[in-house]
């Protein structure tokens, strides 16, 4: 009787300890992964790859998606802190709205890795794992420059711009990277933006949402391009490129423009094959996930954490040590090699998108 009571007490204590620390299986370390949304293919892949790789490395994983709602993400991250996660990996919905959670994490000495998107305005961001965001925009701009032969023809060519969510720190990096390449041609009159909308705030797309990008593109086509050709539409990613492609399909009758994108979402790769999008930027989520697992291992084992950029990503409180992975420009000429032969997709994945 007495023995049973002691056993019960020990069991209860063990259960309480497990609930408190989130440690299952005698000390398994729990990793909290907070992703923005399941609406976009890429975040599902990022989450799935990380979960798989962390579990294979012996971690327990708490993976949450926040439906693109900043307050949901905040409470999910707070739950991760309270349930004993030993490290947090966060792709922020709004770059500046996680401050209270990060302060709590810091008090508990829980390291924070900003995943793909930098978390701004807080000093408790320990590392940043991402792709070279400026280079993504530059590759898009260079693609437009080369596709229109801007250096060897006189033009002028008409161009429009669709950028990303103003709350996402990446969005300005992409836009500025592209503009660095294209602005000289605009200034020289070789590229003409007929709508006149060339500043980030006019061309941004709330939540990177396809429908929002489509309705703005429909307005622009209806207002400015009834009898004019559109030669290029610089879109910062695939979800916005898909909106622009829908608008072009619905309202535009001229020769199809060069349309850029980013992520190589299956739908956008299919659109490339069908001539509705010209290029995309491939960011291999397998690479970023693997890099993040390496970072976590290095942090938790008190090893030197490998980074390759210690100057670019200032979050207004500090320069966050960063590991940048390489983005790759993809179009019809190399999608087979980069996406299919590498095992990222099967041809059927694209056909059935």
Tell me the number of residues near ligand BGC by CB under 6 A.
Answer: 12
Contact status: 42 vs ligand BGC (CB under 6 A)? yes
40 part of the interface to ligand BGC, by CB under 6 A: yes
- Are 321 and 128 in contact by the 8 Å Cβ rule? The answer is yes
Which of these segments, 6-14, 164-172, 269-277, 345-353, binds ligand BGC (CB under 6 A)? 164-172
Find, among 30, 69, 25, the residue nearest to 51 by Cα: 30
**Which residue number has the CB closest to ligand BGC?**
237
Residues 264-293 interacting with ligand BGC (rule: CB under 6 A): 283
Which x/- pattern, by CB under 6 A, does the window 226-265 give for ligand BGC? Answer: -----------x------------------------xx--
State how far the Cα of 298 lies from the Cα of 282, in Å rounded to an integer.
27
CB 291 within 8 A of CB 297: no
Q: How far is the CB of 279 from ligand BGC (least distance, A)?
A: 14
Entry field: residues in the chain: 353
Residue closer to ligand BGC, measured from CB, 30 or 276: 276
Would you state the structure tokens that stand for residue 22, as one six-digit string? 């989130």
Closest approach of Cβ 134 to ligand BGC, in Å?
A: 12
* Residue closer to ligand BGC (CB basis): 158 or 280: 280
Q: How far is the CB of 338 from ligand BGC (least distance, A)?
A: 16
DSSP 206: G
Q: Which is nearer to ligand BGC, 195 or 280 (CB)?
A: 280
Query: Stretches 162-170, 194-202, 331-339, 345-353: which one binds ligand BGC (CB under 6 A)?
Result: 162-170
Q: Which two tokens stand for residue 100?
A: 């209270």
With beta carbons less than 8 A apart as the criterion, state whether 308 and 323 touch.
yes
Q: Cβ–Cβ contacts within 10 Å for residue 57, how many?
A: 13
The nearer residue to ligand BGC, 168 or 218, going by C-beta atoms, is: 168
If you search the block for the tokens 């040590």, which residue do you land on? 321
C-alpha to C-alpha distance for 57 and 38, rounded to whole angstroms:
24
Q: What are phi and psi of 168, to 5 degrees?
A: -100, 115
Tell me how far, at minimum, the Cβ of 333 lies from ligand BGC, in Å: 22
Residue 351, classified by CB atoms within 10 Å of its CB into exposed (0-12), middle (13-18) or buried (19+), is exposed
116 touches ligand BGC by CB under 6 A: yes
Binding site for ligand BGC (CB under 6 A): 40, 42, 116-117, 164, 168, 170, 208, 237, 262-263, 283
């Amino acid at each position: 009787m007495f023995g049973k009571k002691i056993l019960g007490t020990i069991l209860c204590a063990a259960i309480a300890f497990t609930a408190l620390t989130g440690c299952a299986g005698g000390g398994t370390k729990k990793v909290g992964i907070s992703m923005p949304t399941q609406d976009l293919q890429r975040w599902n892949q990022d989450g799935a790859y990380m979960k798989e790789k962390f579990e294979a490395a012996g971690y327990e994983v708490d993976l949450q998606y926040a439906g693109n709602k900043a307050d949901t993400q905040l409470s999910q991250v707070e739950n991760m802190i309270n349930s004993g996660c030993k490290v947090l990996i966060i792709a922020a919905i709004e770059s500046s709205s996680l401050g209270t959670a990060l302060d709590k994490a810091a008090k508990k000495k829980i390291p924070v890795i900003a995943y793909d998107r930098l978390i701004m305005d807080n000093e408790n961001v320990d590392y940043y794992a991402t792709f070279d965001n400026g280079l993504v925009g530059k590759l898009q701009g260079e693609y437009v420059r080369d596709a229109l032969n801007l250096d060897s023809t006189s033009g002028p060519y008409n161009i429009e711009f669709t950028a990303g969510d103003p709350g996402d720190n990446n969005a300005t990096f992409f836009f500025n990277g592209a503009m660095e390449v294209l602005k000289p041609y605009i200034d020289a009159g070789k590229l003409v933006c007929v709508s006149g909308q060339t500043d980030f705030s006019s061309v941004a797309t709330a939540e990177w949402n396809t429908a929002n990008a489509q309705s703005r593109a429909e307005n622009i086509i209806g207002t400015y391009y009834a009898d004019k050709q559109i030669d290029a539409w610089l879109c910062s990613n695939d979800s916005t490129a898909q909106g622009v492609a829908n608008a072009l399909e619905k309202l535009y009758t001229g020769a199809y423009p060069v349309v850029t994108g980013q992520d190589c979402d299956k739908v956008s790769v299919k659109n490339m094959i069908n001539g509705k999008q010209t290029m995309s930027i491939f960011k291999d989520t397998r690479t970023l996930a693997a890099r993040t697992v390496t970072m976590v291992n290095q942090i938790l084992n008190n090893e030197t954490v490998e980074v390759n950029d210690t100057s670019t990503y200032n979050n207004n409180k500090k320069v966050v040590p960063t590991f940048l992975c390489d983005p790759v420009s993809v179009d019809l000429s190399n999608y087979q090699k980069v996406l299919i032969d590498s095992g990222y997709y099967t041809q059927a994945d694209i056909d059935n998108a």
